[in-house]
Structure 1
């Protein structure tokens, strides 16, 4: 959704003028609001990284400038460039991640979650939002044009439906106890940098509902992505590390629900790339979707539940 330009010690993020189901960036004013919101919302988890939101201006002679005095034709987010070698995904791929690194990540996240206010949402609305998300997953994964194998789709979708129908009270309890908070929204390994301090970038700014979550939903997602990169054992370590620091831990049933949901949602996002008019590397997306569907089914296997 953004074009990213690297220039020395700075990074410039320019929003694409696009319209999707969940956002509309076609106007300059919408892109300005998004840039300003991204700057503001990322201060807590990435202090000193998001520097400002600046207009792109055009002067009297047609010269473009950042923060100039001419007409404002677009906006960018200005960031401090981080060391990619410190990104969690790189550390996993290079087999250089240490146990204490995970502890630092859990500590940073725990302090963040503990300072976030519970989301002011009713149980019925929260349930409706989850049903909407699961419905979108079903619509994508079941689309005949994608030809995804039913034997990989049916079991996870049925498991999600069963949980919502029969065990939703577990989420209701989390909501009642204040554990549905305004979280990160896209907690991936490539968004976490482990250096002198732990910095977590790219918190979602364009739809607050995508940040409404249980901390353990997000940590399960992070663990899923880490394991997909080859980081065996990281998912369990993250759950235990966060549980120790929050003094709280959901049931295994709820953790399983979160993992199956996240794997299915990622499968959906992968396969949806094929709807683009001219998708890049079209052979890549079905492979990625199948990999996530396999993870969803593995989460439901008895050996994974024990």
Structure 2
């Protein structure tokens, strides 16, 4: 609800004279809680004088405090982007302008603006994605940025947990009902609430355990592709939630879930899968995976309400209808997150350089529920177990038979944990030992899930070229000399589907996907 009328301020700030500019157009961008003015080489963000259940900008003082807080936050998430807080003044001649352009030192302060350095909007992640300019390495950079922010964030043990998610479920339910029957069907809202509360009951102990372990931290709170920009070749997160601590003092995976949900809605499942699995590799937060579907659902439900609200407020009929359609899509997606397909365990084995990890990575988005199968890779789990980053190198002393047995046991343990939640898994390991292949097959049978094994191979010379050219790869096999130590390995009888990766990459992936499809057809 609009409390403080800023129409004259918006009208004035939409003109270049307010900034001391001549002959330059001011571009305006609006959301439900802010208006941004693009003037010259700066962007000026005005908090709208609104009051909703989740945000209150209804007074001048609250908008000033919000600008100052956002400036402080952005210095950590997007260094160099936000530069200060500017006043908006009304001079004795009745003109509204930014404070730095006022000659009247006694001009009345009527509002505040967050000032940012302007960037090329083509570098927003939503536009980079639309242009096809995002791929694996950009997602890896973004995942590492998120891990860094979460790792260094302040811990809040008095917030979060099951109580917070319960509150979010009930609030989402209440707010969506404000738009029945114009946008939402009450039966859909009823079904979502029932499914969400059922999931909460199942995972409440896990959520409270994560709270006790310090997994509830200060987070951005609104991470999606419209709030991420490429600055100096690296992703920067801006426009954080500064107006409500309940929306930022949250579980770190709940923070990540907003981004994954946004990417799912945009049809970016492959990139979402890469981002998610790289985040997990660096955070080693495997215990939190069971809560992800509930987190994703809650995030989608929040957007269902927000888009419905925007639809009801706009006077543009065509835009209103489009926003209403998007709101309903978010509601349907929120339900879908809580009703995943049956889980599947896919094992990708093969000697180093065979291409098994690439096959696993590219298959994962097409397996199971969003953001795709959880990739459990022995190289990553080994380094998680030893407390080093996936990119760090380990010496030969780390590869003792005892350690390798522990790594395989850890792989099996995490497979069981993830599969038990209904999430699919890609197990990526050498699987050079016939007993290990039998063990992972038995694990799938015991878990009551479909299994498919792929033995991936390529000629030795191609494998040598691959390991020598590896970049940002957790494997410690990066030279031909190390690779040659595997030549004497007796892999025994291979019963899994054999995949030769020496040919065209896309054709190989299409072939493997066809094998998976055949298996699914056979199980019907």
TM-score, structure 2 as length reference? 0.54
What SS does structure 2 have at the residue aligned with 1:72? strand
What SS does structure 1 have at the residue aligned with 2:46? strand
Match of residue 36 from structure 2: 4
Q: How many residues align?
A: 304
Is contact 1:54–1:78 with CA below 8 Å preserved after alignment?
Answer: yes
Higher mean C-alpha deviation, range 92-101 or range 23-32: 23-32
Higher mean C-alpha deviation, range 145-154 or range 31-40: 145-154
Return the alpha-carbon distance in structure 2 between the equivalents of residues 274 and 65 of structure 1: 31
Higher mean C-alpha deviation, range 22-31 or range 260-269: 22-31
Is contact 1:107–1:245 with CA below 8 Å preserved after alignment?
Answer: yes
Is contact 1:92–1:229 with CA below 8 Å preserved after alignment?
Answer: no
Return the alpha-carbon distance in structure 2 between the equivalents of residues 277 and 244 of structure 1: 43
Return the alpha-carbon distance in structure 2 between the equivalents of residues 289 and 231 of structure 1: 19
Return the alpha-carbon distance in structure 2 between the equivalents of residues 200 and 298 of structure 1: 28
Match of residue 502 from structure 2: none
Match of residue 131 from structure 2: 94
- CA RMSD, 1 decimal: 2.2
Is contact 2:86–2:114 with CA below 8 Å preserved after alignment?
Answer: yes
* Structure number with bigger Rg: 2
CA shift in 2, pair 1:120/1:251, >3 Å: closer
Task: Give CA-to-partner distance per residue, 1:11-59, whole Å, 9 cap, x none.
Answer: 0111222222233323222221111111112110011111000112233
Match of residue 241 from structure 1: 278
What SS does structure 2 have at the residue aligned with 1:52? strand
Give the C-alpha shift of residue 222 in structure 1.
0.6
Match of residue 25 from structure 1: 57
**2:110 matched to 1:73?**
yes
Match of residue 503 from structure 2: none
Match of residue 494 from structure 2: none
Match of residue 288 from structure 1: 326
Match of 2:48 among 16, 35, 41: 16
Give the C-alpha shift of residue 179 in structure 1.
0.8
Match of residue 191 from structure 1: 227
Match of residue 167 from structure 1: 203
Between the two structures, name the one with larger relative contact order (CA 8 Å, sep ≥ 6). Answer: 1
CA shift in 2, pair 1:156/1:20, >3 Å: closer
What SS does structure 2 have at the residue aligned with 1:11? strand
What SS does structure 2 have at the residue aligned with 1:184? coil
Higher mean C-alpha deviation, range 291-300 or range 87-96: 291-300
Return the alpha-carbon distance in structure 2 between the equivalents of residues 65 and 140 of structure 1: 36
Higher mean C-alpha deviation, range 29-38 or range 152-161: 152-161
What SS does structure 2 have at the residue aligned with 1:145? coil
Match of residue 254 from structure 1: 291
TM-score, structure 1 as length reference? 0.90
What SS does structure 1 have at the residue aligned with 2:207? helix
Task: Give CA-to-partner distance per residue, 1:87-130, whole Å, 9 cap, x none.
Answer: 1111211112121000111111111111112114156xx54332
**2:301 matched to 1:301?**
no
Return the alpha-carbon distance in structure 1 between the equivalents of residues 201 and 238 of structure 2: 35
Match of residue 180 from structure 1: 216
Return the alpha-carbon distance in structure 2 between the equivalents of residues 255 and 32 of structure 1: 36
CA shift in 2, pair 1:151/1:19, >3 Å: closer
Match of residue 210 from structure 1: 247
Match of 1:46 among 78, 95, 98: 78
Q: Which runs of 5+ in 2 are unaligned?
A: 1-32, 342-367, 370-422, 425-524
Task: Give CA-to-partner distance per residue, 1:242-289, whole Å, 9 cap, x none.
Answer: 111112223443111111211222112222335438475221233112
Return the alpha-carbon distance in structure 2 between the equivalents of residues 156 and 237 of structure 1: 28
Match of residue 132 from structure 1: 167
Return the alpha-carbon distance in structure 2 between the equivalents of residues 220 and 129 of structure 1: 15
